[in-house]
Structure 1
């Protein structure tokens, strides 16, 4: 596959502050006065991280911080509409999202719909077909505490709707965060699953942007560097969760892969994943990565003849094989249950980005076998 040689574009307006201890830089990224909505999860409040952020932000006179810490994995449409309605009178001058991809997506969505004249803007847009009108005026700062989704670098956020068993995307340039803080110290306490599954999402983003009809020279460069960082650092963080440089490397990989899919969007592996998360609760990072070894075996050799690139792809395939993803899939769904979701796995706006033609049923069967 050759990158686009003619017209191509790259745009990413997110200001990034990265490095150990950079959470302390959060106040300077925000207005000195006014109301700030801090979006996070109950776990971060219990562990005291929310309190640390409140302490950081509490020194500016005239600044009010309101905490919304009810975010759950895979934020749901009705919950987000209700949160926006509940905070309508706050009129925040900024939103801060602290947490993994779900918290950051929730923060991006809330920044986009707060102040909407519609009482239930997501319901109106996605269930009733109203024209999407996302707010461009509330800056949002992403503080990821996992390394995987790259949501801090993308112009879209995922909204899940269990009522209709569908997944929607709030997207557009107005959905980009204003800024992001990549502080690897915030990832040091992650357990194995919360380290591995988001990291698999990073690898999936990078590969999905390579075998993509929208690939550009810039997206390819970003994706390849994300893969290099992943194969170098993921084994290290799995072996030693306290390896701070490796944690930082995985945060960088996540951010770079996020930039790559900002241009290309994702492709077939993500299309396959959505019904598995919706119906079986399979973590997104696992659901969008267990097919990658089979995809790499079949299509990796067609992603260019450059020897260095092919060697990197082989390293990625070997790492994924060692992780025995098919065993992890069986924790959430049997092979029969996965195959039964086949009719729901073709999402045109994702599967249609895939550069090659694939037999999805054969791909699934191979991915669920013991060869990895």
Structure 2
């Protein structure tokens, strides 16, 4: 079986492709930024080469003989799943487990971890959306020792990861296949937590756009909005740098164009490829930068109100874009100053193919509408919640302070109030 086309890793100077069919050459090694150690193979058909790619990346001595293969739920809508799992069985006596739930909790991840330990798993291959990838990453990190998920969240991880980790995303949104974080939700407290560790970077990410075609509209729409939000936020984040911007800004255009393309032709693999490339490229950016206010706002909307994560991010993305476009000397939080922040905001607006921040915000809102998702003022559960209570929750997340313009509690409350107020009717 022919392997992927090899390209240099491109450390420190690489840029993602941002135009045309992004995988006409078939599975290809993509350049990654210097801060991401994961080998990335992208392109239609890449998942059918999974076993060979794992052997090539790890070497014969490190290939798992009993890999834990974590998948999303199966079904007739995933005709590729058996073929990809069979690739894992070519590595050894695979232990195949279906992930128990979206938005994984410490308890749900702990159950998978204990199963993997009992089975003697010596590696993890995670095949699924962000929830599956986050579960698989956490299990791989903790598999070799006795540390529980709860202990790791409270006290950190005492030992390095000792087993290989492979990520195969089946949705275009989270970018988890190339980041060092794993999200863990707390249903009882209504909170989002995260493990953040350099060894949560997978050894190998195999990104095959064909695998995303089975996602229902509600899933791919929210996931695509998450990719768009991550691309925009990682561009203006205080933690962004020149290298991350070479990934985040092209991802803004790819995500917006990819969402439009999939809306126009949902079954078209070229459209899916563009959106998958956007998600991956945004993931490579947030691996450095993390996210900002729209993500901080999304966490309680997901944990407390049950909104899909990407949808929740997009609900405030336009408002925060307009807010950041009015940054001044007195409230600029980025040490590079107002000029830098305004230049990045202008670049984001251009990549959204809009003339002004207000027009860019309208384009995001129109995308949400075309995707069949409600606007903030149409969400009864959001209108019922006290904006000041929601604001207090949002302020407790560190992503809030990664924004380039300081937002006060009063400004945050006003933003939430404005978003949930129905627009006045034109006579």
Q: CA offsets per residue over residues 333-363 of structure 1, 9 Å max, x none?
A: 2323262422211134211111102211122
5 Å-filtered alignment, 1:6-155, equals 10-31=34-55, 34-43=65-74, 47-59=78-90, 63-118=92-147, 121-126=148-153, 129-133=154-158, 135-155=160-180
The reply to whether residue 251 of structure 1 matches residue 289 of structure 2 is no
1:229/1:314 CA distance change after superposition, 3 Å: closer
* Cα pair 2:48 2:83 within 8 Å, conserved: no
Change (3 A) 1:319 1:342: same
- What residue is the counterpart of 2:246 in the other structure? 221
Q: Distance in 1 between matches of 2:164 and 2:304?
A: 34
2:384 is aligned, of 330, 336, 340, to: 336
| Alpha-carbon distance, 1:139 to partner | 1.4
Tell me the TM-score normalised to structure 2 length: 0.77
Q: How does 1:180-329 map to 2 (within 5 A)?
A: 180-300=205-325, 303-305=341-343, 309-313=348-352, 315=354, 316-324=360-368, 327-329=374-376
Deviations 1:177-205 (A, max 9, x none): 11111111111122322121011111111
Contact between 1:114 and 1:135, CA under 8 Å: does it hold in 2?
no
* CA 220–366 in structure 1, closer or farther in 2 if over 3 Å, else same: farther
Q: Which residue of 1 aligns with 2:415?
A: 363
2: CA distance, partners of 1:314 / 1:257: 18
Distance 1:217 1:122, change over 3 A: same
Once the 2 structures are TM-superposed, how far is the Cα of residue 10 of structure 1 from its aligned partner?
4.2
**Measured at CA, do residues 203 and 369 of structure 1 come closer, stay the same or move farther in structure 2, by a change above 3 Å?**
farther
Output the CA distance in 2 between the equivalents of 1:175 and 1:309: 29
Q: CA deviation at 1:85?
A: 1.4
- For structure 1, the 5+ residue unaligned runs are 1-8
Write the distance in 1 (CA, Å) between the matches of 2:86 and 2:152. Answer: 37
1:310–1:87 distance in 2 versus 1, CA, 3 Å: closer
In 2: Cα distance, 1:112 partner to 1:152 partner: 14
The change in CA–CA distance for 1:301 and 1:333 in structure 2 (over 3 A counts) is same
Give the aligned partner of residue 5 of structure 1: none
Corresponding residue SS for 1:133: coil
SS at match of 1:97: strand
Check conservation: 1:112, 1:136, Cα contact below 8 A.
Answer: yes
Over residues 28-78 of structure 1, what are the superposed CA-to-partner deviations in whole Å (9 max), with x where a residue is unaligned?
Answer: 233556101111122358845442223223345xx1111110331101101
Whether contact under 8 Å (1:190, 1:241) holds in the other structure is no
**Aligned length in residues:** 358
TM-score (norm 1): 0.88
Aligned partners of 2:293 and 2:405: how far apart in 1? 10
* Highest RCO, 1 vs 2 (Cα 8 Å, sep ≥ 6): 1
Deviations 1:249-289 (A, max 9, x none): 11111111111111111111111111111111111111122
| 1:6 aligned residue | none
